[in-house]
Copies of this chain bind each other. A is one copy, B any other.
Amino acid sequence: MSEPTDTPCPVPASITAAWIGLMRAQRIVLAAIEADLKAAGLPPLGWYDVLLELARAPEGRLRPFEIEKRTLLTQYNLSRLIDRLEGKGLVQKELSGEDGRGRWVVITQDGRAMQARMWTVYSRALSDHVGRKLDASSADALAGLLAKLTD
């Protein structure tokens, strides 16, 4: 006669609490930030990530696979996101001379302007939805703990 295990849970409660908190916090804060961007008539955060990487890159250009690594976007989603960015004139695609398989993605002036415009809204949203909730030492501690999850 075995004990009925109502919750057959080999996972410590502290672990599940951390995981649920991680999901909740990310969703809630992300939704709040996206809402602020949308309210300002700006595109979603994914666009910003790509534009920022390009803006920081030497000559404002990167290969798609480099963007992919930096942003955690999947290959097929990035391929289409780049098409959308190009459609809005924020980036240009160029053929790569060295590697016949490759393309260059180059940020345009409009793209740099959009990145800057998005940052004004994004930074304020970050202050509102993250900065207001955490002091510097808490933020450091949080970043440190989260980093443990990603190696």
Give the residues in chain B near A127, CB-CB below 8 Å. Answer: 10-11, 15
Nearest residue in B to A8 (C-beta to C-beta)?
B119
> What range describes how many residues of A lie at the interface?
35 or more
Cα(A145)–Cα(B136), bound, Å: 12
Nearest residue in B to A123 (C-beta to C-beta)?
B11
Q: Is the interface of A mostly helix, strand, loop or mixed?
A: helix
**A143 and B72 in contact (CB under 8 A), knowing A12-B136, A127-B15?**
no
Is A139 a contact partner of B18 (Cβ separation < 8 A)?
yes
Give the residues in chain B near A39, CB-CB below 8 Å. Answer: none
Give the residues in chain B near A150, CB-CB below 8 Å. Answer: 21, 24-25, 28-29
Is A145 a contact partner of B149 (Cβ separation < 8 A)?
no
Question: Which A10-39 residues sit within 8 Å CB-CB of chain B?
Answer: 10-12, 14-19, 21-30
A1 touches B (CB below 8 Å): no
Is B143 a contact partner of A24 (Cβ separation < 8 A)?
no
Q: Interface on A for B, CB 8 Å cutoff?
A: 8-12, 14-19, 21-30, 72, 116, 119-120, 123-124, 126-127, 129-131, 133-134, 136-143, 145-151
